Every structure is written in C-alpha cells, then in structure tokens.
Structure 1
Amino acid sequence: MNAPLHPLPNAETTAELPGLTLLIAAPRGFCAGVDRAIEIVERAIEKYGAPVYVRHEIVHNRYVVEALKAKGAVFVEELDDVPDDAPVVFSAHGVPKSVPAEAERRKLVYVDATCPLVSKVHRQAERQLEKGRHILFIGHDGHPEVIGTMGQVPPGTMTLVETLEDARTVTPPAGAQLAYLTQTTLSVDDTAEITAELERRFPDIAGPKAEDICYATSNRQAAVKQIAPGSDLVLVIGAPNSSNSVRLVEVAERCGTPARLIQRAADIDPAWLEGVGSIGLTAGASAPEELVREVVDQLKQWRQVEEHTLVSTVENMIFKLPRQLTD
C-alpha cells in the first residue's frame, strides 16, 4: 500500500540537509463520520462475509478505498451493479430516498453509513417541506452529498445555490415561504457570505437552528488558519473530489499562503521546496493519519525537519454504529 518515496536529491548526509519548520495542524484527518463509515464496512464484511458491496466510494480517499477492497469490499456506482443475494453499504455522503426504496423492493440487505450530521440535514429538509417552505440549498452541484440531500424531497421543492452570485440572482417560486440549508463540507467563510446575502434579499427566510457545516469541517478550516500565516507553503492531504479537502486549500490561499492538494507523499515535487523554510501540513476528513506520517517521512529525506503541532481545538465526537451491526 505504501507509495514509493522520492530518493534523496543528492548524497548529502542528514546533518548537511537544510532545515525545515513543519507546522502540523490539529485537528486534521479522519472525523467521527469517516471513522464510523469505515468501521461499518469492516463490520459488515465480518458479519456477512466477503464480498460486501459499497455504493460509491465510502469516503473520498483512494488509500481507504483500496484498503477496504483488500478486505473484501466491492465498490459500485449503482444498485443495479449489486447482485440480489449480496449485502450493500451506502456511503457516508448520503443517498436519495429512491436508493433505500429500491434496495427494499429488491429485498437487499443494506446498511446505511450516511454520516449522522448529513442525516440531520436530510431531516431538516423534510421538516421545512412539511412547513410548506421552498428550500434554497447551498452546495456544489454533482457532489454526492448534494445529490443525496436533494433526493430527500420531491423535484422542484429545492433550488441549488452554489455561489455568492447565485445568491444574488436566484429566483424562488413567486410567493413561496423560504428556508435555506447547506452542504456539510463547505467553506465556512464563503457560506457565511452566501447566507448573509440570502437573508438580506429574503428577510423572512428560515435558517437551520444550528449551522449545517459539520464540526469537523469547521475545525479543520480553523486549524489551517492557525498554521497558514507562519508557512511558506501549505500541503493538504486529500482527494481532488473531497469537498472538505479542497476547501482547506482555499482557506490557506485566502490567508495569503500558497497551498497544494496532494493524495500522498509521492505527489510532492521536490521543486516545491525551493526557497521554502516552513511548511504547513494538514489532512482532509477522509485522509488517514498514515498518510500524514508518510509525508513527514518524505520531507525528512530532503530536509532536517523540526515538527510543531498547533492544536486549535480537541475533538472527542463519537457516532454510534447501526444497530444491525452491533446486535
């Protein structure tokens, strides 16, 4: 599973290597929802035996997906790819209501690994619909979480708002009472601008009682704001299709620090380190700690690294597993 590390660029001994200050963000990496989703797949394999099918990537991280494949998980895009006699797990991002309905119609054994914080947004959408409100949903078109959330309500009852410009121009149905909800993995700062504009245009719009952006997303963005000002470059470990990881790059850049998204150590170009005396390092919520240490080990092949962990908050959230896997 380990990617090959770059060799030393020359024959210098460690003592002769130039120094590098490494500021490591905390919290970083796995959140409670990701921990839960991975454990759900592992326990399903233990309970039902391999193979266990997983609809979509359980989380957006190739390293995690490959590790689960090695244990007996088979990843597919749709339920049509799941045999009638095989168990299936739904990803942490959530699914439209039509997916479990189809699984029940086919009498499939299924386990829902949707993050509880995403499920909370699903319930909020249903409640706003019951109150007769049209929902403006702030999120990124095509993201699995957005597809899953918009699939909780009938077509036409929710309008997607992606940008501040969308918030300025969106035209909800005439005379409709309005509510807004958000994807859980958005930029805290960008979302605040969008919601402020919606509230300016529609003073009676109903917002969620608590922020929809999840604690892990908010905490990791706050941690990047702590390491970025003292860094010449920020490295974010995460997948290109991981919304929360891409947001971390944007947060660093908004702080005025260049940032790069990498999937693991092998992606680092030694040329990036030219003229760099300090690097900030973090990982998206789907990236395991092994990849963080892999990056640190790679940097130590090129530089004398002095590590500092900057703790912005301590997380202790734990989510329960589905009852069918604990009975």
Structure 2
Amino acid sequence: MMKRPLTIRLCGPRGFCAGVDRAIQIVVLALKKYGAPVYVRHEIVHNRYVVEGLQARGAVFVEELDEIPPEHHAQPVVFSAHGVPKSVPADAEARNLFYLDATCPLVSKVHKQAMRHQRQGRHVLLIGHAGHPEVIGTMGQLPEGAVTLVETEEDAARIAPADPQALGFVTQTTLSVEDTAGIIKVLQGRFPQMQAPAAESICYATTNRQDAVKEAAVGADLFLIVGAPNSSNSMRLVEVAERAGAARGLLVQRASEIPWGEIEDISVLGLSAGASAPEIIVDEIIDAFRERFDVTVELAVTAEETENFPVNRVLRDIELTPADMAFVNGSA
C-alpha cells in the first residue's frame, strides 16, 4: 500500500540546552567520581527518560533532604537545574551533607537580578507560574514578603504594592516571550517607575526554540512538541505553535503517546522538543512517522547555539566516556 506523503518541519534549535546538559553531566560525573548512590533533590530536569536513565546509573531521587539516610550523608546530593531556595543549601549544611548545585547559570542570573532589586530598595515582581520549581527557588532567594508573583495580565492589573514608586521585575526563564511582554506592558502602564532587570531574564534557549517553532508552524496541520507536562518551556512551545499558525499543537513524551487514529490525513508536521527533552526521542518519533508515511524532513533552523556552561570545579578532573557523552547530550 502506498504511504501518504508527509513533510516534517524539524526545528533547530530544539531539545537540550546548555543548562540541562550541564545538570545531567553533573550527576553522571558525580556517580563516576563518588560512586552510587548520588542523591538528587527533585527531578534534575523535567524529563522521565532522563530521570530513569540516571536511576539506572545509580542516582536516587528524593523530594526533600530528610529522605537521605544518615549512613549516606557523605554521598553527594545534587540540586536540580531549576534552582532552590536559600533554605535548601542551609538545610544541607545543617545536616552535614555534601551538595553539588546544578542550578542553571541563567536561573542563577535571575536570582542575582532579584537580589539586586531588593538591595536597591525595590519590591520584586516575579513574572512566572505558581508552584514551578524555578519560581519557588527564585522567591526563596529573598525574605518572605519581598516578592510578589504575577502570573497573568489580570494579576498585573490587580496588584496593589505598598510603594508603587519602588518596584523591580524579573521573569521565570522559560516563559512565552509574547505572554511576558503583555504582562510587562500592563505593569509599565500602571507603574512607570518600575525597574527592569539589568539583562533579559527569559533565557536564550527558550527564545531560540520559540523562534524556530514560529517559523515552522505556519500552515502545519499538526505540531508535536516533545516534552513533559510539568516542563514550562515545553508547554509554552505548544502555545507558540498554535498561536503562530499550526492547526493543532500537541505535547508528547514518547512516540507511543501520538494519537495515530486522529492524524491519518495530515500532510505537514512541525516537530520540536523542549529544553529538557533528549534527541533520541525526537529520532524515535521521526522513525514512527516513517513507518506510516512517506516522510520528507525539512529543517527549520533559526539560530546556532554554542553555549557551554562548565560543571562544578570539584568534578572537572573526571572524564566522560563516549557512551557517557551520548547520554549527557541526549543521543542515547
């Protein structure tokens, strides 16, 4: 039987960013240097495939530090790429735990921007999503009450700060550029004295992946984003795809989640991956479409990424094997 033709517009950049790459590398290097178990507080990144791959190597994921048994207090505990409140390393030190911080340097930059606002006497407005680990970590850099979370334009229109003349804002790194711009516009209209951060808060990887999706989305019958439901940057990519012209956007974690019965008559598919999704799953999905369609792959590349964030100094004497590197960069 003849297969229907299908054009897959494959976005670039896609998948792992430098911060995710660094975080996974830190866990792998710690396992090689210190042996199993290496504890990880919360998911190191929002991806089940990555978490399970690290568990198979000897990583143990915990929600809180009190889950680490006393006999393992000399083993490393890694803090996730999303960042943690100041209370977490303080708790680790109180417990005499050896910890490695895998917070993305771009998230750390937002922490510093928020602290700078506070030092200069400003109340901090954080544009982000309640409950996201990055938001919890950023709010936890400052004393309680020093930060107000702004999730929507409606929030921006409602908030009533004690001193409207002394405000500064920062944003979660993984937001939609358009949504954030709308919120900032409302805030600036109400509080013209509000100070911006010294540098853009939304990270380069978020912006680059959104730009590529915008280019590929026009005229697409379906746009698949590889990512987890709790991954903010992946969820934003689905929204960006539909807003930019895709007839339908869909988040999937693996090829097995694709609703094949609903998409038999598509002719143009957009495909990208959130910053914590490994390339091996993108390959898996393309192979699944090749089994069902006569596939032509077109690249929609809008930027080249060369960023590389060094790992913690204590791990730099350890070398990764080619197999380790393939896992770290998401290709195995």
TM range (shorter): over 0.9
Q: Which residue of 2 aligns with 1:287?
A: 277
| 2:86 is the counterpart of 1:97 | yes
Q: Which residue of 1 aligns with 2:245?
A: 256
Q: Which residue of 2 aligns with 1:210?
A: 199
Q: Distance in 1 between matches of 2:10 and 2:311?
A: 30
Secondary structure at the aligned position of 1:57 is classed as coil
Q: Distance in 1 between matches of 2:191 and 2:241?
A: 32
Q: Give the counterpart of 2:55 among 46, 69, 74.
A: 69
Q: Is the 8 A contact 1:134 1:176 kept in 2?
A: no
Q: Which residue type is aligned with residue 244 of structure 1?
A: N
Q: Distance in 2 between matches of 1:119 and 1:82?
A: 25
Q: Which residue of 2 aligns with 1:197?
A: 186
Residue segments in structure 1 that go unaligned for 5+ positions in a row: 1-11
Compute the TM-score of the two structures, normalised by the length of structure 1.
0.94
Q: Which residue of 1 aligns with 2:28?
A: 42
Q: Distance in 2 between matches of 1:271 and 1:201?
A: 49
Residue segments in structure 2 that go unaligned for 5+ positions in a row: 318-332
Q: Which residue of 1 aligns with 2:45?
A: 59
Q: CA deviation at 1:239?
A: 0.1
Q: Which residue of 1 aligns with 2:323?
A: none
Cα deviation code 1:95-130 (max 9, x no counterpart): 000000011111111000000000001111111111
Q: Is the 8 A contact 1:145 1:183 kept in 2?
A: yes
Q: CA deviation at 1:173?
A: 1.5
Q: Give the counterpart of 2:258 among 268, 283, 292.
A: 268
Q: CA deviation at 1:145?
A: 0.2
Secondary structure at the aligned position of 1:275 is classed as coil
Secondary structure at the aligned position of 1:230 is classed as coil
Secondary structure at the aligned position of 1:69 is classed as helix
The number of aligned residues is: 313
Q: Is the 8 A contact 2:165 2:191 kept in 1?
A: no
RMSD, matched Cα: 1.0
Q: Distance in 1 between matches of 2:234 and 2:298?
A: 21
Q: Distance in 2 between matches of 1:310 and 1:116?
A: 28
Q: Give the counterpart of 2:135 among 127, 132, 146.
A: 146
Q: Which residue of 2 aligns with 1:4?
A: none
| 2:316 is the counterpart of 1:326 | yes
Q: Which residue of 2 aligns with 1:25?
A: 11
Q: Which residue type is aligned with residue 113 of structure 1?
A: A
Q: Which residue of 2 aligns with 1:302?
A: 292
Q: Which residue of 2 aligns with 1:161?
A: 150
Cα deviation code 1:141-199 (max 9, x no counterpart): 00000000000000001000000111111111245610000000000000011111111
Q: CA deviation at 1:209?
A: 2.1
| 2:213 is the counterpart of 1:224 | yes
Secondary structure at the aligned position of 1:152 is classed as coil
Q: Distance in 1 between matches of 2:264 and 2:162?
A: 54
Percent of residue pairs identical: 60
Q: Distance in 1 between matches of 2:295 and 2:137?
A: 43
Q: Distance in 1 between matches of 2:107 and 2:268?
A: 36
Q: Distance in 2 between matches of 1:18 and 1:125?
A: 53
Q: CA deviation at 1:272?
A: 2.8
Residues 78 and 105 of structure 1: is their aligned pair in 2 closer, same or farther, counting only changes over 3 Å? same
Compute the TM-score of the two structures, normalised by the length of structure 2.
0.93
Cα deviation code 1:274-309 (max 9, x no counterpart): 321110000000001000000000001110100111
Q: Which residue of 2 aligns with 1:9?
A: none
Q: Distance in 2 between matches of 1:35 and 1:87?
A: 19
